[in-house]
Amino acid sequence: MKIQHYTQTRPEPVAEGPGITVRWVVGKEDGAPHFAMRVFEVEPGHSTPYHSHAWEHEVFVLTGEGTVRHEVEQETAVSHGSVVFVPGMEPHQFINRGDGILRFICLVPIEG
Amino acid sequence: MKIQHYTQTRPEPVAEGPGITVRWVVGKEDGAPHFAMRVFEVEPGHSTPYHSHAWEHEVFVLTGEGTVRHEVEQETAVSHGSVVFVPGMEPHQFINRGDGILRFICLVPIEG
């Protein structure tokens, strides 16, 4: 069993954009067989890339004020306690619209 | 895409013990193909059952003060920001040791 505070995992920059870090808090190296847990931090004025991919996301927003862009010109507000399920192949983007860090958990499947 | 506050999902009692509820915030009905997200609330003085099973847990603690019992007589303190990975077949129990609700996210694989 692994028990750690999420801040004990080193934050890594995200290649797709500035102002974003990711912590892989549970992953393959921990023996996780099916899915991985990451914690993202998006700085004010920044956002994750608007993109799509084959795998799904399951997201829980921890802190901050943001929007999820789910189609061109369509955004939905999210904040602490928001849950987002992004099915595979659906375009999505997490945008920080507040003054503080937008911090959220995002889980993805581990490829067999 | 599903975007909701977690409290919009109805809390259900947990059969294994009093003082616990679970919200299935992302699951099979949402089209999730690989894993499900639940939000648990354990009232003060209560705990989840001490048990083990074949599937893993990936946990993020949101609020409250508790311990994770991982072997008989062994407990580790958890609070906001704690991440717990419980591999399949490892005995585990989440115990509320505080005065408020112990609230955590717990993900499990969806059986094919």
B53/A53 Cα distance (integer angstroms): 32
Share of chain A above pLDDT 90, in %: 93
Quick check: B60 contacting A, CB < 8 Å? yes
Is A55 within 8 Å of A109 (Cβ atoms)?
yes
Q: Three-state secondary structure along B79-109?
A: CCCEEEEECCCCCEEEEECCCCCEEEEEEEE
Handedness of CA A50, A56, A57, A58 (dihedral sign): positive
The least confident of A31-40, A55-64, A66-75, B27-36 is: A66-75
First to last CA, chain A: 22
Quick check: A75 contacting B, CB < 8 Å? no
Which residues from chain B sit within 8 angstroms of residue A70, using beta carbons? 1, 3
Q: Name the pTM for this structure.
A: 0.97
The answer to whether ipTM exceeds 0.90 is: yes
Structural domains present in chain A: 42-112 (2.60.120.10)
pLDDT on residue A15: 87
Name the residue with tokens 């209560």.
Answer: B46
Is A16 within 8 Å of A22 (Cβ atoms)?
no
A105 to B105: CB separation less than 8 angstroms, yes or no: yes
Which residues from chain B sit within 8 angstroms of residue A87, using beta carbons? 1, 31
A105 to B60: CB separation less than 8 angstroms, yes or no: yes
B99/B40 Cα distance (integer angstroms): 16
Q: What's the angle, vertex CA A65, arms to CA A64 and CA A67, rounded to 5?
A: 130
CA A63 vs CA A6, B22, B81, B96: distances in Å: 14, 22, 12, 23
pLDDT on residue B74: 93
| Mean pLDDT of the region B98-105 | 98
- What average pLDDT does the structure give for chain A? 96
| Mean pLDDT of the region B74-81 | 97
pLDDT in tens, B14-65: 988 899 999 999 999 999 999 999 999 999 999 999 999 999 999 999 999 9
- What average pLDDT does the structure give for chain B? 96
pLDDT on residue B112: 60
Helix, strand, or coil (residue B60): strand
Among partner residues A1, A81, A84, which is closest to B92 by beta-carbon distance?
Answer: A1
Is A62 within 8 Å of B81 (Cβ atoms)?
no
Residue A112: pLDDT band by 50, 70, 90 thresholds? low
Residue A24: pLDDT band by 50, 70, 90 thresholds? very high
| CA closest to B54 among chain A residues | A33
Residue A102: pLDDT band by 50, 70, 90 thresholds? very high
> Which residues 6+ apart lie within 8 Å of A104 measured at CB?
A39, A40, A59, A60, A61, A62, A64, A78, A94
pLDDT on residue A16: 82
pLDDT on residue A73: 79
Element (H, E) at A94: strand A93-96
